[in-house]
Amino acid sequence: MASTPLSSDSKHGGHSHIINPWVLFFNMLWLMFLLVITFIASEFDFGNVIINNVVAMLIATVKAVFVIWIFMGVMHASKLAKIWVVTGFGVLFLMFGILGDYATRQYEPVSGWETNVPNNGGSAFPREWPPQKKPEQVGENFRPRG
């Protein structure tokens, strides 16, 4: 019989990546347990919305790691494939950060409110304030983007 790269008699030492069904079963049990913990944590009030979100994201991250590591077979992948998995999720995390930055662009810090700049309404930028909100009335160094 011919040797293939994944056969056990390969010159390169390749082997089959068949996962034991019990490993999959216990992984499923852990995911079900974390599902129950997620439900309990969603009903429990930690006193702060940020803490509630952090707890929910930690539980979701643990569940995602279980799915990626075992069900997607990353634990049997090469080191290069593991690097690409980590890199891909790192880029995904950065994209969510960029999305959060984009969502907060309605307010931008301005270094100063110089009134001697001609033709732009006394602002450091060429955008205008709504008539009901002026920097002198608000008392803050932020203004909505127009």
Summarize pLDDT for 25-74 with one digit per residue, the tens: 999 999 999 999 999 988 888 888 888 888 998 999 999 999 998 888 88
Phi, psi of 142 (to 5 degrees): -130, 150
3-state secondary structure 7-63: CCCCCCCCCCCCCCHHHHHHHHHHHHHHHHHHHHHHHCCCCCHHHHHHHHHHHHHHH
Would 4 be classed as within a structural domain?
Answer: no
Domain that holds residue 56: 18-72
pTM surpassing 0.75?
no
User: How many domains are there within the chain?
Assistant: 1
Would 31 be classed as within a structural domain?
Answer: yes
